[in-house]
Amino acid sequence: MLGEATDGASSAEELRQELHELMRRLRIEHLKARETELLARAAHDPAALADYRRVQAERRALLEGEDAV
């Protein structure tokens, strides 16, 4: 019976880690799309380049496994 509780806890932890990784990947994809959008805006709005650099740095940090926000 104790083994079943441990298995459940380990499964819950695995699910939590999987969800965390999925959310990280989704965030990276969102940031890629935002980078593309900001580069297009930069042609008319020089301030967009600063935003682009910030978004790019956040995406790179996530790719390296850091949780940058």
Q: What is the mean pLDDT of each run of 10 residues along the chain (69 residues)?
A: 62 95 97 97 94 97 75
Answer whether 6's CB lies under 8 Å from 37's CB: no
| Residue 66: per-residue pLDDT | 63
Helix or strand (DSSP H, E) at 27:
helix 2-42
What residues does each domain of the chain span? 2-63
Answer whether 55's CB lies under 8 Å from 35's CB: yes
| Residue 67: per-residue pLDDT | 54
Answer whether 63's CB lies under 8 Å from 29's CB: no
